[in-house]
Amino acid sequence: MMGLDVNAEHFRARVLQDAINYGMAATWERRAALFEAALPRPGDFRGHQQTRERQAEKVRELIDIVTACRARAQAARAHDRIDADVAAVVPEKGVQASHTPGGEVAA
């Protein structure tokens, strides 16, 4: 662990940013859009290894995920605000940008 430069304040702010982003409607809308983009389009090659039934099942799973993400976004809209105490610790622009579209923590 020698040489590891840990900034506890930065780490604490990032954890808080991630928690806030997880609860924001925009995060869930982005996730829904990503899963929706993964839906197959006419003419897409879908492989020869899966049966049509399995392909249809995968489509239904993706649609269910999109629906769940949009429902979560809808629920989050009622609470999409940042408390003044939290905003004092975490700059709001950082809260908006702490995740990449795939959900990984951005550097």
b or e along 61-82 (b: 16 or more beta carbons within 10 Å of the residue's beta carbon)?
A: ebeebbeebbebbeebeeeeee
Asked if 21 and 74 count as a contact pair (C-beta separation under 8 A), the reply is: no
Q: Domain tally for the chain?
A: 1
Domain membership of residue 105 (yes or no) is: no
Domain membership of residue 10 (yes or no) is: no
pLDDT tens, position by position, 7-65: 787 788 888 888 888 888 999 999 999 999 999 998 888 778 788 899 899 999 999 99
- pTM (predicted TM-score): 0.63
Domain membership of residue 1 (yes or no) is: no
Range of the domain at 63: 15-37+49-96
Domain membership of residue 62 (yes or no) is: yes
Domain membership of residue 20 (yes or no) is: yes
Asked if 62 and 37 count as a contact pair (C-beta separation under 8 A), the reply is: no
